[in-house]
């Protein structure tokens, strides 16, 4: 009997504590899509990506052309010349892979540029989220567009538009 009373007391205390916690969510993808600074940064990143992809395509085409030329002539080449051309093709392929890694690899220029352009915007968004959460009395705010598992969220707890309004005030 005493155990049941303690259990009921713990459940009631848990409900009481849970009722005091306010939680809301935002959709950072929506905010990023509507924030002019984020759109400008994304355009800059897209332009860089297009330039670098163009260079990769050019390099790939050069390798393909040289490979086709090699394939059509390898039977009439001397062993020494064939080895030289194969080495040249391997070097070109390595150059392409190195360029791709330099631009798009982990810690590459794309990662650095994205961090450089987006970090100030993300900090601005986080500050606006904190301000709105403080003003509205929320204890937790989660991002619905991230990998956080959010099985249900009532739209009355969506702070996305309030965060956007806060960002547009500044």
pLDDT at 146: 73
Rounded to whole angstroms, the Cα distance separating 72 from 70 reads 5
pLDDT for position 144? 84
7's tokens = 């259990």
Low-confidence stretches of the chain (pLDDT beneath 70): 1-19, 147-154, 170
Residue 111 half-sphere exposure, CB side, CA atoms within 13 Å?
Answer: 9
User: What pLDDT was estimated at residue 113?
Assistant: 95
pLDDT of residue 149: 57
Instruction: Record the pTM.
Output: 0.69
Report residue 139 as tokens: 């204890």
Matching residue, tokens 């800059």: 44
Predicted pLDDT of residue 156 = 74
pLDDT of residue 140: 83
Q: Tell me the pLDDT tens digit for each residue of 147-167.
A: 665 545 667 778 888 888 888
Signed CA dihedral, 88, 106, 119, 25: sign only:
positive
Could you state, in order of their start, the residue ranges of all structural domains in the chain? 17-169
Q: What length does the chain have?
A: 170
* CA gap 121, 47 in Å, rounded: 19
Please check whether residue 160 is in contact with residue 27, taking contact to mean a CB–CB distance below 8 angstroms. yes
């Amino acid at each position: 009997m005493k155990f049941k009373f303690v259990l009921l007391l713990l459940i009631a205390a848990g409900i009481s504590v849970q009722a005091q916690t306010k939680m809301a969510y935002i959709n950072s993808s929506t905010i990023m899509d509507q924030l002019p600074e984020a759109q400008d940064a994304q355009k800059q990143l897209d332009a860089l990506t297009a330039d670098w992809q163009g260079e990769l395509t050019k390099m790939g085409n050069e390798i393909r052309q040289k490979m086709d030329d090699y394939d059509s002539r390898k039977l009439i080449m001397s062993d020494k010349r064939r080895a030289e051309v194969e080495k040249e093709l391997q070097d070109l392929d390595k150059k392409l892979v190195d360029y791709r890694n330099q631009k798009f690899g982990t810690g590459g220029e794309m990662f650095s540029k994205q961090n450089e352009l987006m970090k100030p915007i993300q900090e601005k968004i986080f500050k606006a989220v904190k301000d709105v959460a403080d003003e509205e009395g929320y204890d937790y705010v989660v991002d619905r567009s991230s990998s956080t598992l959010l099985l249900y969220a009532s739209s009355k707890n969506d702070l996305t538009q309030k965060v956007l309004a806060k960002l547009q005030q500044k």
